[in-house]
Amino acid sequence: MIFLLKLLHSLFYDESARQKSDTSSGNEYATKNVLINTKVNPTNSSMLVVGHSGNLGNGNWAELLAKKYQIKLTNLAIGGKQTENDLQAVKSYFFINQKSPSLVFIYSGLNDMWSGKTVAQVVKNQQAIIDLVRIKGAKRVYLVLGYDGMKVNRGVPKGGLARGTTDEMIEGYKKRFQSYQKEAPNLIRNATIIPIETSIERVKLPNTNNYSKDLVYDGLHLSAKGQKIFSNHVDKSVFSINGVLP
């Protein structure tokens, strides 16, 4: 009898500890701690992408993954818009469609940071998107943190920006985005975090004031080569049958 009681206590304790560990982050669907163990085979699945212009253009990271794995891609990204616009785009999508694609990627926040929004404002909109797609049946939801802005957003040409934009304003944006990348993972719930891609860098060309366009063509957006690197980063972070794009 004593042995049986000890066995039951051990089983109950282990199960309770496991449940506590699984939900300690407040994230009931997926946590950073189980990212490696929850990779999925995306072949012939469906994918929804939400966010800014970093998700757009021919050969963007999402398009590359969709082609590679025969994923049905719905891209709601809006160039130049902010997370409040992303939320409205998702609401409009579900006004027509009753069910969410199985995979949802949210890569946003840069435009919000550029306009001076706070991390709390950005995360509030992102969380609303996450909650909505979960209600609509999304099985996997990912928050993409993006690239290292301190490495990539160098030599941004002010000529293409609003009149009066200064170097100090650009530096302020980079620091706000850096703060967002650091704080968001601890605030977001019910989504898996895709970590920052750190290998992409915009470098200054030797003996000149110009910057290389090899990976970043304007100081803000990735080139085709940069998009491939970023696509591989997402691939290896999320999918179980990943490989490097040619």
Inside any domain, residue 246: no
Domain assignment of residue 245, yes or no: no
Nearest Cα residue to 191 out of 230, 144, 235, 146: 144
Whether residue 18 lies inside any domain: the answer is no
Closest CA to 84 of 142, 137, 128: 128
What is the SS3 assignment for 105? Answer: strand
Q: Is residue 188 part of a domain?
A: yes
CATH of the domain at 215: 3.40.50.1110
Helix (H) or strand (E) segment spanning residue 182: helix 167-187
Within-domain flag for 152? yes
Q: What's the domain count of the chain?
A: 1
Span 176-207, pLDDT tens digits: 999 999 999 999 999 999 999 999 999 999 99
Residues 16-50 have pLDDT tens digits of 333 333 333 444 434 343 334 478 888 889 999 99
Asked whether residue 56 is assigned to any structural domain, the reply reads yes
Global confidence as pTM: 0.83
Other CB atoms within a 10 A radius of the CB of residue 112 amount to 26
In a domain, 14, yes or no: no
Contacts for 166 with CB less than 8 Å, ≥ 6 apart: 158
pLDDT by 10s per residue, the chain, length 246: 444 444 334 433 333 333 333 333 444 434 343 334 478 888 889 999 999 999 999 999 999 999 999 999 999 999 999 999 999 999 999 999 999 999 999 999 999 988 889 999 999 999 999 999 999 999 999 999 999 999 999 988 877 666 777 888 888 888 999 999 999 999 999 999 999 999 999 999 999 989 999 999 999 999 999 999 999 999 999 998 876 665
Structural domain includes residue 173: yes
Q: Taking a C-beta distance cutoff of 8 angstroms, is the pair 140, 175 a contact?
A: no
Q: Three-state DSSP class for 84?
A: helix
Tokens of 198: 């750190």
Contacts of 80 (CB under 8 A, 6+ apart): 52, 53, 111
Q: Would you say 83 and 108 are in contact if contact means Cβ atoms under 8 Å apart?
A: yes
Range of the domain at 118: 28-238
Question: Length of the chain in residues, anyone?
Answer: 246
